[in-house]
Structure 1
């Protein structure tokens, strides 16, 4: 008995350390993902060394925002495979160092094309971190408390968005904020020293992995389409808003305002809404079921987007409408994190879920690109954002015609 008692705290401390480090990697990934968006209206004019029209801001911002998400998709697809081959920990350390290094490089650039390359490579790193840190914790954590641990880990991303908003408010000069990259670079050096590979990964190397083609079998094809459509539709609307709302807010302000406070506050509201919504989603699923929670959430997203983007000038009501939209965004992400994996049996769950998530990111990156380029065509950022927010209608329709997952999902 004494041996068990003395050994158990050591294991718990090791897992707690691993969780804490993964949480920080995940959180900083959320900050890096949204940091350029909040500074975009001031970064682009400085790099071009001239004033920038709304159309030009939209064009360049489209390249920058979509490049990051394309990189995120590539990282999620390729680094997941790499981690299966060379190890979770090595790949996590590499991914963390990658997004940290190329975030840090932005401090020293003077050309937006180099900024584009830095954001693409940083996106690869973030995509790897969000996937591998989740897998790593899932493989080392006790089965009974694993959902709680993974739920807390997922909340770290919106906390990172709040940090991006705080940095925007507190640091006037945009390049200084990107010194943040020092933290993930340091973490990438610490991770291999203090952590070890999960025993599950070591054991899994002895067995044959699931063939990627298995998920396209006739019995899984319908759910694969459902998962990809719902997640992709939601992600398009969500990231179109995340990427362009700070620039839209700036466009509503008078030329005498630098918009630093307003842009930062809006991003902090999105982060806080994500946290609260993620927590609330579990209670809603328990009370209403997954399908009805999704229908309620997508309805809320549609109404909130219409209310928000109908504004023609900035007023405090925008903060209230942003908070409501952020809450529905958070609920949607919390619900989908349990809904999509439940569409598939255990044998292909990780592979199929990863496919749905990253195909969704491909369409998201493309949509974010077109939001910026359509600004002059549709008559401003508000109309472009309204147009791409309509993807929540697609998600609602797919959820409406699909049954509750626990009615048909094999285990």
Structure 2
């Protein structure tokens, strides 16, 4: 079967029960893609998708490090600073909702490219902010692009790699967040003492040029093309992946046919019986996780300054702690495959809450670094599981719509979190703020473990 594809470039004959086999003699592209191992070509596609999000996380993370400096430059109080952080997430909220639906209609690749162009242009424009109003406006536009890319790129990546490799690469995508945040911290430490915040923002906008690689290297998702009835295009892309795999491995495993529904789906289907449970589950998981994550991340440098460290020291401590995301990726890709998504989600919630509370109670340099790394391990483990788990809950026809809605609810939490925690910090101090934000993250893990479906063996 695979040899026929390699020789002629056409789809293999359909097996009984396949999605389109009874109609046009085809085996589903989704079934064919699911057995293809990662090739150098696939790895290059994955690289540019990862770099696209890596570039955005540098820009996203930079504001948390620059918050004290920007507040001082523009004369912002804590509440206004919270609004400045939240305005980006407001843009991400609208960007995620719109892009999810757009990508299901016009394609994954076009939407990813458009989102990168939007945030890239806004990132460069941010450098020239003459006043608070312009600063807020450009940050909102930048948020539109950031919010649009995340759910669509996640869905795209989940459709390009096989089910076997999905845990490794989906969690690797989310690993770009701590790496990008760490790079943002390094850029702040290196550039801020010599230039002002404009120089840091300029450096953080330059990686937007990775969009060129997306345009030139990445094909459209063959699963999306198939879902839209564009079978020849889908078969051609899939055949190229198959030919590359055969050249390396001589033969491919047999196609395992999965029966799927051909029914067309829309946004309102997310609130009907089939998806209502996971829609509600995703609301609580994403909202609570992002409320805690970005609510605390926005003020982490400020909290450390309140503990007696200066801006550069505080930025350095946060940057070191973020490196806890690297072992989180190794653990997530192994545990999700070995024990399943639900158990790994629960472990993530427990680690984040326990180590986050310990981080908040730390007063010495050594304890700050150790508990900071452990807290970031749990936090990014939780984020990686959200990135892996959410696209697996939906079918191809509605995947980016569902993923976009879920992440938009996360952006609600990102909007509310910095503002609420700013009030908590003002009224009750930095320790109570840390305790509340950290303790909340056990809730998403418990919800998934108790009520979520296990998607360990899910095939697209």
TM-score range, shorter chain: 0.7 to 0.9
Q: Is 1:160 matched up with 2:189? A: no
423, 439, 451: which one pairs with 1:390?
439
The answer to whether the 8 Å contact 2:92/2:145 transfers is yes
Aligned to 2:12: none
1:407–1:195 distance in 2 versus 1, CA, 3 Å: closer
Structure 1 residue 349, shift from structure 2 partner: 5.0
Paired position in structure 2 for 1:226 = 281
State yes or no: 1:252 paired with 2:307: yes
Tell me whether 1:301 sits opposite 2:352 in the alignment: yes
Deviations 1:261-306 (A, max 9, x none): 3313313422x22232122023334554443333333222222222
Distance in 1, Cα, partners of 2:313 & 2:223? 47
Matches of 2:103 and 2:416, distance apart in 1: 27
Q: CA deviation at 1:37?
A: 0.6
1:44, CA displacement in angstroms?
1.6
Q: Pick closer, same or farther for the CA change 1:208–1:78 going to 2, 3 Å.
A: farther
Q: Is the 8 A contact 1:282 1:335 kept in 2?
A: no
The 8 Å contact of residues 277 and 327 in structure 1, kept in 2 or not, is answered as: yes
Distance across 1 between alignment mates of 2:115 and 2:224: 18
Structure 1: distance between partners of 2:343 and 2:40:
39
CA distance in 2, matches of 1:17, 1:293: 28
Tell me the equivalent position of 1:83. Answer: 103
1:23 paired residue number: 50
- Alpha-carbon spacing, 1:398–1:194, altered in 2? closer, same or farther (3 Å): closer
Deviations 1:72-92 (A, max 9, x none): 222111122223333333322
Return 5+ residue gaps in structure 1 as ranges.
Answer: none
Return the structure number with greater helix share. Answer: 1
Structure 1 pair 315/230, CA: closer, same or farther in 2 (3 Å)?
same
Contact 1:96 1:184 in 2 (8 A): no
- Note the aligned Cα RMSD (angstroms): 3.2
C-alpha displacement at 1:143, in angstroms?
Answer: 5.6
* TM-score, structure 1 normalization: 0.83
> Cα offset for 1:101?
1.6
Instruction: Note the C-alpha offset of 1:325.
Output: 0.3
User: 1:336-375 residue pairs with structure 2 within 5 A?
Assistant: 336-343=386-393, 350-375=400-425
Q: Does the residue aligned with 1:109 lie in a helix, a strand or coil? A: coil
Q: Which deviates further from its counterpart, 362-371 or 339-348?
A: 339-348
Kindly indicate whether residue 331 of structure 2 is the aligned counterpart of residue 280 of structure 1. Answer: yes
Cα 1:82–1:268 change in 2 (3 A) is: farther
For residues 346 and 186 of structure 1, the distance between their equivalents in structure 2, rounded to whole angstroms, comes to 29
Residue 374 of structure 1 and its aligned partner are, at CA, apart by: 3.6
Shift of 1:117: 1.7
CA contact (8 A) 1:168 1:261 kept: no
Deviation at 1:409, TM superposition (A): 8.9
1:213 maps to 268
| Cα distance change, pair 351–305 in 1 and its aligned pair in 2 (3 A) | same
Q: Is the contact made by 1:69 and 1:364 (CA closer than 8 Å) also made in structure 2?
A: yes
Deviation at 1:144, TM superposition (A): 5.1
Count of residue pairs brought into register by the alignment: 393
What are the within-5 Å matches in structure 2 for residues 48-197 of structure 1? 48=75, 56=77, 58-141=78-161, 145-172=165-192, 173-189=196-212, 191-197=214-220
Mean Cα displacement is larger for which, 163-172 or 229-238?
Answer: 229-238
Q: Which residue of 2 aligns with 1:315?
A: 365
Q: Residues 314 and 365 from structure 1, CA distance in 2 versus in 1: closer, same or farther, beyond 3 angstroms?
A: farther
Q: 1:399 to 1:86 in 2, by over 3 A?
A: closer
Q: Distance in 2 between matches of 1:213 and 1:341?
A: 17
Tell me how far apart the structure 2 counterparts of residues 46 and 407 of structure 1 sit (CA, whole Å): 49
